[in-house]
Amino acid sequence: MPLLTKRQAVLVVFLLAVAVVGCVLYRYQFRIRAIAWHLLHGDSVAVAGYRVAVPILWLVEQSNSQDATLWNTRTGESIWLHSFPKPSSFTLASWSDLVQKRMKDPKNLIVGRRELQVADEPFLCFERDFEIVLPSSVTANASDQTVHGPSVECTSTGPLDVMFYGTIRPARRNDYSQFYAIVGSIQKISR
């Protein structure tokens, strides 16, 4: 007597196929969403009168025209673009002083500073490294107790500001080239 009838075998194969497809869709859901976003919207997003290039496999979430979040579906890193009016007395020098005073915490070091010209506006960016000391119960090795949370905070004299949030890593991050390439792609939209 056979273990399964032909009908039962077909049903088992069908259910296995559905399970495999479901697992693949679940695992790659954000990459699939990113591809769908690019098919629907192209390779850039508009934020508050600016156009920003969106690399392939980056997903865009945008709830209004004043901000957008770009998600790297391979790494989990994100870039938040947001716009708000600044007072007429705002200067990059005063903002720089404020950020440097606020970030004197040795666990949240400013590890880099860049001045950029983007969309005909000066931008000032601070690269930071947030050190997180994990409890010894989490790591087997004492040398693996400190991890790093990289971020970059950029502001401009115009209304657009940009934040980068990196993924937690065992060593300080030194390469922000993809982030700066995206920031460098920002252009003002002609009205």
Kindly tell me if the per-residue pLDDT of 1 is higher than 60: no
The position carrying tokens 């399964």 is: 4
Lowest mean pLDDT among 21-35, 71-85, 129-143, 157-171: 129-143
Give residue-wise pLDDT tens across range 162-179. Answer: 999 998 888 888 789 999
CATH hierarchy code of domain 44-188: 3.40.1000.10
Average pLDDT (141-156) is 83
Residue range 26-65, pLDDT digits in tens: 677 888 889 999 999 999 999 999 999 999 999 999 989 9
DSSP label of 56: T
For 25, the 3-state DSSP assignment is helix
Q: The pTM is what?
A: 0.80
The conformational region for residue 57 under phi > 0 = left, psi -120 to 50 = alpha, else beta, is: left
| Structural tokens at position 14 | 């069908």
- The structure tokens listed for 40 are 């629907």
Domain(s) labelled CATH 3.40.1000.10 in the chain stretch across 44-188
